[in-house]
Amino acid sequence: MRPSACPGLVRVVAAADGGLCRIKLPGGRLHARQARAIADAARAYGSGAIDATNRAN
């Protein structure tokens, strides 16, 4: 099995407007505590912007 080439927590990819990191949510659910942790990381390591999508690609 080869490692995934998709951006993720261990492989942040440079984009025109900052780093790109995808987080897969088990069952598509996100608890408030998890959302706060993601928001904190977005502020600490990026612009603070978060785009959410239901695309599975």
* Residue 17, domain member (yes or no): yes
> Could you give the number of structural domains in the chain?
1
* Residue 56, domain member (yes or no): no
* Residue 32, domain member (yes or no): yes
pLDDT, residue 40, reads 93
pLDDT, residue 5, reads 72
Q: Is the dihedral of CA 25, 29, 33, 38 positive or negative?
A: positive
* Residue 51, domain member (yes or no): no
> Residue 22 is part of which domain span?
13-45
* Residue 20, domain member (yes or no): yes
* Residue 23, domain member (yes or no): yes
Walk along the chain (57 residues) and give the pLDDT tens digit of each residue: 556 677 777 788 887 777 788 888 888 889 999 999 999 988 888 888 888 887 765
pLDDT, residue 12, reads 80
Q: Three-class SS of residue 4?
A: coil
* Residue 33, domain member (yes or no): yes
Q: pTM for the whole thing? A: 0.68
